[in-house]
Amino acid sequence: MDFGIFNIMQQRNPAKSAKQVFDEAAEQTVEAERMGYSRFWYAEHHFSNYSLCPSPLMMAAHMAGRTRKIRLGTAVVVAPLYTPARLLAEIGMVDILSGGRLDLGIGMGYQQYEFDRFGATLENVREFTGEMLELIHMGLTQQVFEYNGKHIQFPRSSINCRPLQTPTPPIWYAGGDPSHLAWIARHGHTLFTTGLLGGVSRMKKTRENFEQIAAKEGKPARMAVTRLAFVTKNKKDADHYIDCALYQQRLAVALKTRREKVASNYIVQEQPYDEEPGIEDIRRNLPVGDVDTCIEKMVRIVRELDPVHIAIQPQVGDMDQKKALGSMELWASEVIPAVLKETGRSALAA
């Protein structure tokens, strides 16, 4: 098991420029490598301030030139928004540029607001994503291939910039479609899940469902977790992080349910949603707070979910960069070593 960092590259304050958002994500990546984190993950979203990163593959390629060891991941490539031919080639290119350090996170997408602007629909995303998974595997493992699916037709072709990692870069799937879960288990890939603002129980049900599907394939269930998480010795900073976490979820729900109210061209306004958890519920659920609190909650995650990887998200909303970096340092120096020791896991891998 190892630990990484996820940065959604959010813009809560419109006065914060896109350049500053990208610069901070780049700085976090460099610092994460120095601190010994194994992976850094970049999001993909479009046309809103929920995330300013439209291309995690492009961000990974950029950071490949500024880092040496840390693995660079997409969390996630929204498969239905891609032309298959371009995606295949770009996967190979980024893996080459990074020296074989690409982790390929793939998902279906869920924000119709984005899909509308691509001239796409959420109606067939499950089928399309399933075909894309098959095509990626086929295109990257076979010298010459062709594919004839319901949604994707690919003539006899050969990728001219094949990835360094064989048979493919590791694939991390974010979603719950049973056929997709069976496919990733069959090929030895990893389910990437998040508990959002909820507790471990929700993720445990996901784990149990995946274990049942993987068992039918005769394979182990490899699961990774991304978690809103912030360790600090300052209670006010912890309170602000919880407010930022709720802000992120409010935007996500608004965009998913098509209740978004957009101002200043692309800024989605924050609005409460039905069944929204209270601040104290969020505080109980998330590994946010002092060192001892975060150790206790992270140990429970490890023991109950048995993940191969945990990606923490120290910056969300308008969380200050210095405080996010400080939290990353505390995780690396105090929390993670204690969690690994208490759970009997191996040392943090670089």
Residue 170 lies in a domain: yes
Residue 80 lies in a domain: yes
> How many structural domains comprise the chain?
1
Residue 295 lies in a domain: yes
d(CA 261, CA 285) in angstroms, rounded, equals 28
Q: What is the CA radius of gyration of the chain?
A: 19
Please provide the size of the chain in residues. 350
Looking at the whole model, is its pTM more than 0.85?
yes
d(CA 196, CA 256) in angstroms, rounded, equals 14
Beta bridge partners of 4: 39, 311
CATH number (domain holding residue 137): 3.20.20.30
Structural domain range at position 56:
2-343
- Which tokens is 169 given? 């870069």
Residue 349 lies in a domain: no
CA–chain centroid gap for 43, Å, is 6
Residue 208 lies in a domain: yes
Residue 348 lies in a domain: no
d(CA 253, CA 196) in angstroms, rounded, equals 11
**Predicted confidence pLDDT, tens digits, the chain (350 residues):** 999 999 999 999 999 999 999 999 999 999 999 999 999 999 999 999 999 999 999 999 999 999 999 999 999 999 999 999 999 999 999 999 999 999 999 999 999 999 999 999 999 999 999 999 999 999 999 999 999 999 999 999 999 999 999 999 999 999 999 999 999 999 999 999 999 999 999 899 999 999 999 999 999 999 999 999 999 999 999 999 999 999 999 999 999 999 999 988 999 999 999 999 999 999 999 999 999 999 999 999 999 999 999 999 999 999 999 999 999 999 999 999 999 999 999 754 43
Residue 148 lies in a domain: yes
CB atoms within 10 A of CB 14: 12
pLDDT tens, position by position, 203-243: 999 999 999 999 999 999 999 999 999 999 999 999 999 99
Closest to 312 (Cα-Cα) out of 181, 224, 199: 224
3-state SS string over the chain? CEEEEEECCCCCCCCCCHHHHHHHHHHHHHHHHHHCCCEEEECCCCCCCCCCCCCHHHHHHHHHCCCCCCEEEECCEEHHHCCHHHHHHHHHHHHHHCCCCEEEEEECCCCHHHHHHCCCCCCCHHHHHHHHHHHHHHHHHCCCEEEECCCCEEEEECCCCCCCCCCCCCEEEECCCHHHHHHHHHCCCEEEEECCCCCHHHHHHHHHHHHHHHHHCCCCCCEEEEEECEECCCHHHHHHHHHHHHHHHHHHHHHHCCCCCEECCCEECCCCCCCCCCHHHHHHHCCEECHHHHHHHHHHHHHHHCCCEEEEECCCCCCCHHHHHHHHHHHHHHHHHHHHHHHCCCCCCC
d(CA 88, CA 106) in angstroms, rounded, equals 13
Burial of 296 (0-12, 13-18, 19+ CB in 10 A): middle
Cα→Cα distances 325→51, 94, 298, 329, Å: 19, 26, 19, 6
- Which tokens is 126 given? 């499950």
Residue 278 lies in a domain: yes
